[in-house]
Amino acid sequence: MSLKEKFTSISPAEFFKRNPELAGFSNPARAMYQALRELVENALDATDVHGILPSVKISIDRASQEKEIYRVSVEDNGIGIPPHVVPDAFGRVLYSSKYVIRQTRGMYGLGVKAAVLYSQMYQDRPIEVVTSPMGSKRLYTFKLKIDVTKNEPIIYEKASVNNETGFHGTIVTMYILGDWMRAKSRIYEYVKRTYIITPYAEFFLKDPEGNVVFYPRLTNKLPEPPKEVKPHPYGVDIELLKNMISKQRDDITVKEFLVKEFQSVGEKTALGVLEMAGIDPNKKASKLTDDQLSKLVDSMKSFPDFRPPSPEALSVIGADLIELGLKQTLSPDYVGAVTRKPKAYQGHPFIVEVGLAYGGSIQPAEEPTVLRYANKIPLIYDEKSDVVWKVVEEMDWKRYGIEEEQIPLVVMVHLCSTKVPYKSAGKESIADVEEIEKEIRNGIMEAARSLKVYITEKKREEEAKKRLLTYLKYIPELARSLSTFMVNGKKEEMPKIQEQLQNKMIDLVVTKLNIKDKDLELFKSYRVETL
């Protein structure tokens, strides 16, 4: 046996080709869902982040009879992609326009490439991209694959034609080894949950069985798009500082660098931070030693007077749109939502939003149904390992007036952040970060207090109604007694008068209490036999 190990290095493309499950491509059903997700999330990032009301057309067709190969295509009306970046955007792993500090669905520069890698592992057709950037007079078409060893795009076809219709946006088509029967419910669930959180978008979905579903736009109100911001000093590390300094002009002083490149750092703050670190403010940033960089990071992380990270980079949905989405898709009796104030963890701003829907058409179950969202993406798999689940599970719903064994309750939690702490590149669950967990708990409790007011009120009304219905049962007797006074000896008229009195009294109570047919049935069961 040789004791010599053989060392080689592999490209990022090769790494994700070898480990597709890390990006969510663990089996054909999951891969089909994941590929569709990546395309839909890119489509939405290309629209609402740029102030465009999204219109997303998804079609899935069976492309081969021998193997379960599907053609998955997603069209958007977004900003489009400049033609010179298309090959890298779809053919170079870890290439992205989203490596900036701004809330977007995408953040790794991996998603669509992981789908392309999976696609080309099991069938031979390249990915097709048709795109026209906003205002462009041309429509560009590409067919490409990834050179796995080099982590580079291989372009099979490239063309452009006149953009006759003024279309802007992108159509991406790829061929995927899938398993429709097993992926179907997740895909429908994914689209429905995406629709709940983007009620300002419209979706068309055509599935391989020929079903076409249209989800109409419910509002034209678009949430305020996120703005790109500078990094916050609490979020730095030595490598980030080195990298940022390497992009500066050579003679920039460390004080100028801090003021220019970080949020919430003015002259005075910069001097305070540098004093804490024992660094001369006029020292050239490029001349800082490793030891000084390390001291600077420590002082930036512990300086007490920074403003919290700017929430401008975030884009919440807002309580009104959350309520609209939940109401339209779940038809509950009650819906309520809260958008919490911005908070921060490790220098990243975040906001938690919570929506609660109760009663109505919601199917009662032992546990509440949990709808998890991060940066407007629904998270469907790995529910039990998510911090949201942990918090919901620990809630004592009885304290909020929910006493049934089977609860008709949906809890929706949306985490917005410039950095969502996902547990894996497949983006299916959120890690337990203490600050986030606490904020989710506070958000759910705040929303649950309003639900409690509703439930208490409803219970009170129901009890009052029940009491009054109990009174109703005395009506026949009362009518009979009164009729004896009114008949003036004509006993034969008694039943008629009694009936009239009884109907009048019932009408009175029914109108007064706004009693519905269902309750009237109940009343009938109270009716005592005429004595």
Q: Which residues are annotated as a binding site?
A: 42, 76, 97-98, 106-113, 427
Distance CA 480, CA 499 (A): 8
- Torsional class of 488: left (φ above 0), alpha (ψ -120 to 50), beta (otherwise): left
- Which lies closer to ligand ATP via its Cβ, residue 131 or residue 483? 131
36 binds ligand ATP (CB under 6 A): no
Indicate whether 92 belongs to the interface with ligand ATP (CB under 6 A).
no
- Assign 3-class secondary structure to 362-412: CCCECCCEEEEEECCEEECCCHHHCHHHHHHHHCCHHHHCCCCCCECEEEE
Q: In the complex with ligand ATP, which residue's Cβ is closer, 138 or 459?
A: 138
Instruction: Please name the residues in contact with 282: beta carbons below 8 A apart, sequence gap of 6 or more.
Output: 253, 254, 255
| 120 interacts with ligand ATP by CB under 6 A | no
Q: Which residue is nearest to ligand ATP (CB)?
A: 106
Decide if residue 112 touches ligand ATP (CB under 6 A).
Answer: yes
Asked if 42 interacts with ligand ATP (CB under 6 A), we say yes
Q: Which is nearer to ligand ATP, 105 or 441 (CB)?
A: 105
Annotated binding site for ATP: 42, 76, 97-98, 106-113, 427
Rounded to the nearest whole angstrom, what is the least distance from the CB of residue 161 to ligand ATP in the complex?
19
Of 32, 72, 107, 420, the one binding ligand ATP (CB under 6 A) is 107
H or E segment at 266? none
Stretch that binds ligand ATP, among 40-48, 276-284, 378-386, 393-401 (CB under 6 A): 40-48
* Window 145-184: residues binding ligand ATP (CB under 6 A): 170
Long-range contacts of 379-384 (CB under 8 A, 24+ apart): 379/427, 379/428, 379/429, 379/430, 380/33, 380/186, 380/189, 380/190, 380/193, 380/428, 381/24, 381/30, 381/186, 381/426, 381/428, 381/429, 382/423, 382/428, 382/429, 383/429
Tell me the residue type at 77: N
Q: Does position 310 bind ligand ATP by CB under 6 A?
A: no
How many CB atoms are closer than 10 A to CB 111?
A: 25
Residue 198 structure tokens: 């983007």
- What's the rounded Cα separation, in Å, for the pair 318 and 196? 12
Which stretch, 10-18, 37-45, 280-288, 478-486, contacts ligand ATP (CB under 6 A)?
37-45
Q: Tell which phi-psi region holds residue 66, choosing left (phi > 0), alpha (psi between -120 and 50) or beta.
A: alpha
- Asked if 102 interacts with ligand ATP (CB under 6 A), we say no
If the CB atoms of residues 98 and 452 are measured against ligand ATP, the closer one turns out to be: 98
CA angle centred on 283, ends 280 and 289, rounded to 5°: 95
Cα–Cα distance between 242 and 220 in angstroms, integer? 44
Nearer to ligand ATP, 127 or 344 (CB): 127
| Under rule CB under 6 A, residue 96 binds ligand ATP | yes
Taking CB under 6 A as the criterion, the residue among 40, 110, 139, 324 binding ligand ATP is: 110
Closest distance to ligand ATP from the beta carbon of 80 (Å): 6
With CA atoms as reference, report the closest residue to 301 among 339, 247, 344, 250: 344
Among 17, 113, 348, 372, binds ligand ATP (CB under 6 A): 113
**CB-nearer residue toward ligand ATP: 377 or 391:** 377
**Lookup result for tokens 């034969």:** 492
**Site for ligand ATP contains 101 (CB under 6 A):** no
CA distance 97 to 315: 18
Q: Does 49 bind ligand ATP (CB under 6 A)?
A: no
Of the candidate residues 32, 40, 46, 392, the single one contacting ligand ATP (CB under 6 A): 46
The type of residue at 116 is V
User: What's the CA gap between 335 and 502, in Å, rounded?
Assistant: 40
Structure tokens that stand for 465 in this block: 């109604």
For ligand ATP, which residue of 28, 83, 87, 111 counts as binding (CB under 6 A)?
Answer: 111
Does 108 participate in binding ligand ATP (rule CB under 6 A)? Answer: yes
- To ligand ATP, the closest distance from the beta carbon of 132 in angstroms equals 11
**Site for ligand ATP, rule CB under 6 A:** 38, 42-43, 46, 76, 78, 81, 89, 96-98, 106-113, 170
